[in-house]
Amino acid sequence: MTDATPTPSTPAAAPVAAGPKQTLSIVGFILGIASVVFGWVGIIGIGAGIAAIIVSNKAKKSEPGAPTWMPTVGLITGIVGIVIGLISGLVFLFLTLIPLLTYGSIASNLGSY
């Protein structure tokens, strides 16, 4: 047996300081991705894209410690989602209106036979 004193065990992990607040950055990022995913629905893609742009711009200003890539991606995907929503809305509009408009002219031509 030795008279060596035991070394004190290391204390439990010290609490880690909280990271920077990044709630708005995450919300803008998620809204931007949602606007691209739901862009084919039209109004949902446009609405989510507008919300993504607003929230991402606010996040850039109010969260200086947050990673800068999240609001940037939210902004870019929000714009892309708006463009996709507008294109899909116009395609739906034209695919709905063109048959309705041509039906009248076809029906009037069939009546003359």
- What's the average model confidence in pLDDT over 79-93? 92
Q: Which helix (H) or strand (E) holds 86?
A: helix 69-110
Decide if pLDDT at 64 tops 60.
Answer: yes
User: pLDDT of 4-27, one tens digit each?
Assistant: 776 666 666 667 766 678 889 999
Any idea what DSSP says for residue 64? T
Higher pLDDT, 68 or 5: 68
Tokens of 2: 């030795």
Asked whether residue 54 carries a pLDDT value surpassing 60, the answer given is yes
pTM of the model: 0.71
Apex CA 43: angle with CA 41 and CA 47, to 5°?
120
Helices 43-62 and 23-37: angle between axes, nearest 10 degrees: 160
Percentage of residues in the chain with pLDDT exceeding 70?
Answer: 77
Query: What is the per-residue pLDDT for 6?
Result: 66
**Mean pLDDT calculated for residue range 67-90:** 93
The mean pLDDT of 71-79, rounded to a whole number, is: 94
User: Mean pLDDT across the chain, nearest whole number?
Assistant: 84
pLDDT the model gives residue 67: 85
Q: How far apart are CA 66 and CA 27, in angstroms?
A: 12
DSSP-derived secondary structure letter, 17: P
